[in-house]
């Protein structure tokens, strides 16, 4: 039985489509959604050296801004009756997503994929692809 799911929030155009899936899953016994947003810090140190003025924002300020962006998503799910847990992490997105998935012991992860084609193949998106490839948990890949 799946009870708890992880949705990595990226504010992409697929958010609405992923939310539709999550809402419908309510009926199947899922009761809790963990929303995670990962601040990608892989290139931060080199970029901040080159453009220090862009990185003056303190971490508390960044966290506050992100929380404000995630709040409507949280509210929407709570209105559906979900228990919602918001986590803001820093690091390499897919690594953090999989770490949180393990820590929270979720049943599966929902990721979006734009399905852009390149040379006749759909591209999955680098974070979604890395999650699919490396996750020990089941993954729902949501297409446009």
- Which residues contact a second copy by CB under 8 A? 1-2, 20-21, 24-29, 108, 115, 121-122, 124, 132-143
Could you tell me if 141 and 111 are in contact, meaning their C-beta atoms sit under 8 angstroms apart?
Answer: yes
Q: Which is nearer to a second copy, 28 or 45 (CB)?
A: 28
Rounded distance between C-alpha atoms, residue 89 and residue 63, angstroms:
9
Q: Report, in Å, the least distance between residue 118 CB and a second copy.
A: 11
| Tokens matching residue 141 | 């890949």
Instruction: State in Å, rounded, how far the first CA of the chain is from the last one.
Output: 27
Q: How many Cα atoms sit within 13 Å of 108 on the Cβ side?
A: 14
Q: Which is nearer to a second copy, 34 or 110 (CB)?
A: 110
Q: Which is nearer to a second copy, 93 or 112 (CB)?
A: 112
Q: Report, in Å, the least distance between residue 92 CB and a second copy.
A: 15
Q: Report, in Å, the least distance between residue 37 CB and a second copy.
A: 22
């Amino acid at each position: 039985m799946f009870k708890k799911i992880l949705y990595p929030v990226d504010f992409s155009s697929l958010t609405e489509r992923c939310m539709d899936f999550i809402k419908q899953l309510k009926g199947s016994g899922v009761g809790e959604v963990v929303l995670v947003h990962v601040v990608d810090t892989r290139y931060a140190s080199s970029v901040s050296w080159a453009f220090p003025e862009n990185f003056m924002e303190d971490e508390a300020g960044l966290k506050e801004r992100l929380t404000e962006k995630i709040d409507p998503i949280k509210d929407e799910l709570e209105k559906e009756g979900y228990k919602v847990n918001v986590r803001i992490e820093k690091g390499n997105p897919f690594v953090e997503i999989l770490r949180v998935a393990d820590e929270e012991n979720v049943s599966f992860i929902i990721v979006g994929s734009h399905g852009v084609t390149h040379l006749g193949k759909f591209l999955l998106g680098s974070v979604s692809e890395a999650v699919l490839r490396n996750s020990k948990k089941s993954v729902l890949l949501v297409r446009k």
